[in-house]
Amino acid sequence: MASIIKVENLSYVYNPGMPGATTALENVSFEVEEGDFVGIIGSTGSGKSTLISHMNGLNRPTSGKIYIDGRDIWADPAKIREFRFMVGLVFQYPEYQLFEETCYKDIAFGPKNMGLDEKEIDRRVHEAARFVGLSEELLQRSPFELSGGQKRRVAVAGVMAMEPRILVLDEPAAGLDPEGRDTILSQVKEYHKKTGTTVLLVSHSMEDIARYANKVLVMAERKLAMYDTVERVFDRAPELLELGLSVPQVTKIFLKLREMGIDLPTDVYTIPYAVKTILEAKARRDAGENLTLPRRTVGENKKGGEA
């Protein structure tokens, strides 16, 4: 499948040439295939938020290039607006950017700026509202009368209504209670499945990344540290922990079982997969197979060294 995003040797410096110049990204390169759901993780200051701000031209690379659908987005700065319609960016706490008198008008704001006719705008508003679970009654209300979770959904719907080919979300569930968090992320996943839109999700929650993404991009100290499938990245849990990152709680449990000498894989990252793995191990044990690791392998990594 073709790459819809290609990042090539991207570096970014805040205040270049000034005494307070700060490098935020250093020689980052990767590609994202169309239709992927990529989770982006990294500790505070790792560069993940600066990275995603380059995707629709909010920041211009100090060096390196960003290609969207095969085109260098900065080849002609006069055309950068085209890419801002192709790449929808949802900031942290996007509800703070709501300003219209009704939810309908707020969701319609982006499509109107695209120059669409009223009929197409109306279709997009209602379709986006359905994706995020907003009723017709709520569309006619002021966004400032809604709960925090409902406001968040209005803000996300406003970006979805632009029907971007790439949807980039920076901590979209930040500050929500567990129910609100599950609701918004489940709706994003459903949107991804039904539309085939490429999604980039920045999150501090390893459980969320494990549950919704199919690939994981790990930033560390302004550089790309890992980029692979969810299974392969979480199979490198000890390395993630060394980078100061967490891993899903269920992965930690399987790491501990492995340390205790029980022959179980460590790339377990969701509860359903954990249940399946334990049942398979139980079946092997019931069949008389020894699940205890030889003493010498306990605490060793795949390369044979000490973990």
What type of residue is 210? Answer: A
- The domain locations on the chain are 3-242, 249-287
* pLDDT at residue 299, rounded to an integer: 41
CA distance 138 to 143: 8
CA distance 65 to 54: 10
* pLDDT at residue 191, rounded to an integer: 95
| Best CA proximity match to 234, nearest among 197, 206, 199 | 206
Instruction: Give the count of beta carbons closer than 10 Å to the beta carbon of residue 279.
Output: 10
* pLDDT at residue 23, rounded to an integer: 94
Describe the strand order of the beta sheet including 198-202 as a list of residue ranges: 87-90, 166-170, 198-202, 37-42, 215-220, 223-229
* pLDDT at residue 277, rounded to an integer: 86
- pTM across the whole model: 0.85
CA distance 138 to 120: 20
* Greatest Cα pair distance in the chain: 70
* pLDDT at residue 297, rounded to an integer: 43
State the architecture of 3-242 in CATH terms.
3-Layer(aba) Sandwich (3.40)
Average pLDDT per consecutive 10 residues, the chain (307 residues; last block may be shorter): 92 91 96 97 92 95 97 96 94 89 96 96 96 94 92 95 96 89 93 96 91 95 95 89 86 85 81 86 83 54 36
